[in-house]
Amino acid sequence: MKQSPVAAQRPEWAEAFFSARNRIRRWIQTSIKQQSLIPYRGGHDEGSFTGSWFGFHQLFGMPEVLDFARFLRDGFAEWSREQMLHGFYREGEAHHQTEIFTFFLCRLWRVAPEDETAALILDAAEHIGNWVEGIPAWYDHSEHRFLSWRIGTERTGGPRSRGYEVPDHFRLIQIALIAWEISRDERYLDLCRGYADRWARAILDAPADEPPTVIRSGESAADHDEVMYAIGAHHHGDSALDRVEPHVPAGTVDVMLDLFEMTGEARYADAAGRLCRALLPALGDPYSNPPGALLWRYRTVTGDTSLDEPARDRLHAGIEETLVGLDGMLAFLQQTRISGYAMTAARLYASLADNPIAADRLEERAERYRTLVGERPIAGARAETPCMVIETLSKLPIAGIGKRSDMLRWAWENELGGLRPTAALPPPSLMLGWQIAADETLAAAALRTVSDRIGLAASALRDGRHHGCGGSTIGAVASGHGRDGGYGNVTAAFLPLAGGMTRRLCQEEAVVRFRYGEGEHLPEEVASLVRLLPGAGAEVRLWNDADAPLTIGMALRQTPWRQVVLPPGKVAVVELP
């Protein structure tokens, strides 16, 4: 174990860690207190807002999370006995009617594998392969294809809704994989592999910049509008990014990586890698959370670092050009003192100040600006206040990864009340940058942004129980909205940074485990920062905020526990092989 010199104060990443952790915990506690008074109401995504809670419980120990989840589960079970037929919706489609399973029950079972939860999942999963008599068939085993996007236990899609498959069908495969994990019944895994193989071939046979979004069968009578509706209302172009977008909320990459971990067969990793490469252009988009998390999971699971360099290039994109523009504006300002040049220089400076990768190159330019204008640029160094903007008027779809018309916008507010839209990298992209480059400033920026966003959301928004897919809820900020595939600021940035958590079978799974006292969790006084090394274990930074040494247990996945003594006021670096 390595130790840094005694620190005069908490490292920036530790300060941001404690702030984010405390705000997330306060939200969970407040939400449980309020939501426990409301019985289950039958929403198709009523449990989705708890998506980040299970990983938080694993890391910090919050048994009340499981108690509340059981309350919701039991409410769903009672409601479903009257409203459903044989454990699934009587009619619906593969996108919405799967969400109570993939985003809630499957997560719950992965963290607390209880018979009551397993029974609900298996009751629904039996329909995926037509294994219940008297229920309309959903699947063609001979062709390894689903018969319709519109599914149900009373009726499935008619002739104009058949003969095509879209990424949303992978949501059914996610349920089937959990059913296999529960039962070890090979029929589930066989179905999953047969179906995923068709898509893997289609993805790998297609040009790299044209990932497929639909597979049609010969008898398809579905018209263009029907197919485009099933692909997703947010698919609006034919660029590589537009074409890969439906695979994100559907979970295609996650399923391919799940199957690779289960079978070791390279075609699944290759298909996931092809889709991840298509996501690279979105890494720098302030509103795209999933790409950083999916690229990191691919890197961690496969050990393939070939995307590191293009990912790094995307995170640095535009910095050099903007610096040249800023220098040009400062030169013009020095010659002419025209106020327009000062305003343009300030805007360029602000866009760079949002990016920690560029921050260390701004000090000299800020001084030049102060000399010419009389004050430093207001942006940067936390001079502005983070704020949240709720869009309520526009219903126009938004192109890109992880976008909804009702999603929150993030901005900075100056002392006059003016708003400046953020140009910051999203926390999951910063998390990926930390994993690749081991730059603590990126991790600190990610944790600080998570803290800001959870704090803002919890101060003004609903939890998201009423609409788990919606974009303007606390749950959406934490674990993503309907186009994020479960990847939000907590699930895709905080949990990976704090515990090295990666998605596996619907739920974030702890790669680095901690034990303290009688429980498996981090002590209250310790901040952790995890960097996973592909194929080579993990490197963990630990800050002890207590006045005395603390002894904790640590383990990499299921390896034996080791005891680590953390001295006060120092950063300890622990390598887990």
Band of residue 397 on the pLDDT scale cut at 50, 70, 90: confident
Domains and CATH numbers, the chain: 514-576 (2.60.40)
Q: Both ends of the chain: CA-CA distance in Å? A: 12
pLDDT at 536: 78
Cβ neighbours of residue 133 under 8 Å, at least 6 residues apart? none
pLDDT in tens, 537-554: 999 999 999 999 999 999
Answer whether residue 440 shows pLDDT above 50. yes
pLDDT in tens, 91-150: 999 999 999 999 999 999 999 999 999 999 999 999 999 999 999 999 999 999 999 999
- Distance between CA atoms of residues 349 and 254, nearest Å: 38
Band of residue 320 on the pLDDT scale cut at 50, 70, 90: very high
- Distance between CA atoms of residues 251 and 94, nearest Å: 12
Contact between 106 and 120 (Cβ < 8 Å): no
- Distance between CA atoms of residues 277 and 306, nearest Å: 10
- Distance between CA atoms of residues 540 and 240, nearest Å: 36
Letter string b/e over residues 443-464, b meaning 16 or more CB atoms within 10 A of that residue's CB: bbbbbbbbbbbbbbbbeebbbb
pLDDT in tens, 39-95: 999 999 999 999 999 999 999 999 999 999 999 999 999 999 999 999 999 999 999
For 389, phi then psi, to 5°, come to -120, 130
pLDDT in tens, 11-21: 999 999 999 99
Residues in the chain: 577
- Distance between CA atoms of residues 82 and 68, nearest Å: 22
Answer whether residue 337 shows pLDDT above 90. no
pLDDT at 430: 98
pLDDT at 377: 85
**CA–CA distance from 527 to each of 20, 340, 509, 516, 566 (Å)?**
11, 45, 19, 13, 11
Band of residue 6 on the pLDDT scale cut at 50, 70, 90: very low
- Region 413-417: what's the mean pLDDT? 83
pLDDT at 3: 57
- Region 551-568: what's the mean pLDDT? 97
pLDDT at 381: 45
pLDDT at 322: 94
- Region 222-236: what's the mean pLDDT? 77
